[in-house]
Amino acid sequence: MRRSSSSEAIGLERFAKLGIRRDLDLILHLPLRYEDETRLIPIGDTRAGDHAQVQGQVTRAEVTLRPRKNLLVDIDQDGARMTLRFLNFYSSQVRQFTEGQWIRAIGEVRSGLFGREMLHPRYRLVEPDTPLSKRLSPVYPSGAGISQTMIRVAVRKALQQYQWPETLPESLGRRLRQQAGGMGGSTDSALRLLHAPPVDVSHAALAEKSHPAWQRIIFDELLAQQLSLRRARLSRGTQQAHGLPRLPLPQASEAPGRSDLVAGLIASLPFALTAAQRRVVGEIGQDLALEVPMNRLLQGDVGSGKTVVAALAACQAIAAGFQVALMAPTEILAEQHSRKLAPMLEALGVRCAWLAGSVKDADKRKVRAAIAAHQVDLVVGTHALIESTVQFARLGLAIIDEQHRFGVEQRLKLRAAGWQERIPHQLMMSATPIPRTLAMSYYADLDVSVIDELPPGRQPIQTRLLGAGRRDELIERIREAVAEGRQVYWVCPLIEESETLDLQTAIDTREDLAAALAPLEVGLLHGRMPAAEKQSVMARFVAREVPVLVATTVIEVGVDVPNASLMVIEHAERFGLAQLHQLRGRVGRGTAQSICVLLYQGPLSETGKARLKTMYETQDGFEIARRDLQIRGPGEFLGARQSGLPLLRFADLERDADLVEIARDMATDMLRDYPELADKHLHYWLGGREEFLKA
């Protein structure tokens, strides 16, 4: 921000908290809503609940001390009275309210003990004929230590100093007007209108953002997003990776030659790949063979078999003489990958290693040395893989499981670990399906492969909703299931405010269940356990030594124990939809009929009800994601960390889907034909925040 900037004097940091770092950001700091100070409502006509501006003469100003300190000011207009009530006030303020003084107040009308009142209204001392405002008054998003007045003053100054440039070339402007009707004016005029709308503007159109001024701003914001994504993609095209060619994938029936690692792995699998798996293996294989870094997201619902696809990609890279890193968000998951993949791959001559936080320092050093000396082909691990002490000899492919759990910085670090100035190919995996509109914007820079088919023989999971009062019946069901040789997960919710409490719940639940189910053994798994202990509990569960496992959400992602066929989720109403879907996906992985019991505690909130109903009604990850998006909105759905993008502030991907499409088309043309204007547009809208997009 420039030194003389308007906001500097009043605390840059406080403004920075609102995302305002430049004067330009002030201009983009658009009102949340408006107050109508253009008209006065006669006091006698106001009703409780109205948001109104009134005017009257002071008849009484009194400080009362009980039940608490209050300043009460009565104003009167033609015999109708309104009480203005203040809980925090200065004594100088009290003195302003001399009898007969005209006051103009704006706020919500309530019906108090003694008739109409307003709590903490905004007010001004006026003459009876002081002119009314000709424009709606903006109410801005604000934060601690910043008043509306401070923001209004700063915005007004910024608007005086700057004119927002027109960045849309004439021809595209014309196209926009044709494709999105009613969008006439310039960005600058739209911004000015939104900061101070004239009286006659439709309030509803402003509130719903359907007003042409809003539409123009939303379009500009989407265009900035599309331009930056497009550009990140183009710049990736100019970057180099090592091409990792492969031998063609044999047909399912053919006996593969042992010389081909990919074919070798396929031959050693106890199952045949599904058609969808074969297709995505093909897509990934083609990308890997190119000298352009792959940036591909592998999507498949929980249980669709992404791991083996990743292993095949790894084989292709390893056969081409490169190293592969497979990173997972938790030790449990990373350890499971390692445990499953290492024996299969080692049998084919692949050298595997394991690196996670819990590995002893001396062993870590050994593994790092082996990685640096290319004595390791595949290293599986957690964040420990991207510590600066890890130096790959020839990293050709980085695979990131459950990518939504990682931040953009972490993915960037893996990219930076390439060899000879070349960037490793990147394969990201996620079971969280992304609805189409989101994919089009946030993930426009990714290629996406979808596994849209589950391995054969899977039966749909039955979902039951059960009130917490019927816990005893459930215990009986568990006993029966175990008697039939099944295994059971019992998940306790995370208690946000207190990790210790969370832990205690899990410990208590385990004890209760162990007592109720005696002599059956009940295991316990939670996030605070030492990694070695977690691993041994998981190992015993996998080996069927423990029939029932009480766990916190540490098992949410990726855990794969096909024999487990009963999942109980306690306090299901406290979980988010994506989490519930992931948890439910821990069962239904074998051929047995699986059941997921959602144990809930009433009374349920509206959102809680909507979520449980969704879980009951559908098992389709895409449908669940779509409803989740409806319930939560895209910002929360993705999380700022995950998207790495400045979240869209004004646009709504569902509501503005049409504009997303237009912006996407225009971004392509603009980058090709008007690169300077594209630069300018990005500078004005994102101002340096684009770096993250290159992940």
- Least gap, CB of 383 to ligand ADP (angstroms): 19
- Least gap, CB of 328 to ligand ADP (angstroms): 10
Distance, CA of 692 to CA of 225 (rounded, Å): 12
Phi, psi (rounded to 5 degrees) for 406: -105, 155
Position among 138, 285, 293, 455 found at the interface with ligand ADP (CB under 6 A): 455
Binding residues (CB under 5 A) for Mg ion: these are 558
Query: Maximum Cα–Cα distance for the chain, whole Å?
Result: 100
Position among 300, 435, 621, 644 found at the interface with ligand ADP (CB under 6 A): 300
Out of ligand ADP, Mg ion, none, what residue 273 binds, judged by CB under 5 to 8 A for its kind, is ligand ADP
CA 453 to chain centroid:
26
Nearer to ligand ADP, 562 or 608 (CB): 562
Which tokens is 463 given?
């979902």
Nearer to ligand ADP, 560 or 669 (CB): 560
Rule CB under 6 A: say whether 403 interacts with ligand ADP.
no
Q: Are 488 and 586 in contact (CB under 8 A)?
A: no
Distance, CA of 225 to CA of 443 (rounded, Å): 11
Distance, CA of 593 to CA of 458 (rounded, Å): 8
- Nearest Cα residue to 10 out of 152, 179, 168: 152
Nearer to ligand ADP, 114 or 271 (CB): 271
Nearer to ligand ADP, 493 or 558 (CB): 558
- Least gap, CB of 203 to ligand ADP (angstroms): 49
Site string for ligand ADP, 548-577 (x = CB under 6 A): ----------x-x-x---------------
Rule CB under 6 A: say whether 316 interacts with ligand ADP.
no
Q: Provide the residue count of the chain.
A: 695
- Least gap, CB of 454 to Mg ion (angstroms): 13
- Nearest Cα residue to 392 out of 317, 461, 342: 317
- Least gap, CB of 196 to Mg ion (angstroms): 53
Out of Mg ion, ligand ADP, none, what residue 193 binds, judged by CB under 5 to 8 A for its kind, is none
Rule CB under 6 A: say whether 589 interacts with ligand ADP.
yes
Which tokens is 315 given?
């084989």
Rule CB under 6 A: say whether 304 interacts with ligand ADP.
yes
Q: Are 566 and 478 in contact (CB under 8 A)?
A: yes
- Least gap, CB of 24 to ligand ADP (angstroms): 44
In DSSP terms, which residues pair with 298 in a beta bridge? 429, 449
Which residue of this chain has its Cβ atom nearest to Mg ion in the complex? 558
- Nearest Cα residue to 443 out of 233, 192, 168: 233
- Least gap, CB of 594 to ligand ADP (angstroms): 13
Out of ligand ADP, Mg ion, none, what residue 534 binds, judged by CB under 5 to 8 A for its kind, is none
Rule CB under 6 A: say whether 41 interacts with ligand ADP.
no
Phi, psi (rounded to 5 degrees) for 276: -65, -40
Cα angle, residue 17 at apex, residues 190 and 645 outer, rounded to 5°: 65
Rule CB under 6 A: say whether 430 interacts with ligand ADP.
no
Q: What does 413-465 look like in DSSP terms, one character per residue?
A: HHHTT-BTTBPPEEEEEESS---HHHHHHTTTTSEEEEE--PPTTPPPPEEEE
- Least gap, CB of 544 to ligand ADP (angstroms): 15
- What residues make contact with ligand ADP under the rule CB under 6 A? 271, 273-274, 277, 300, 302-308, 431, 455, 558, 560, 562, 589
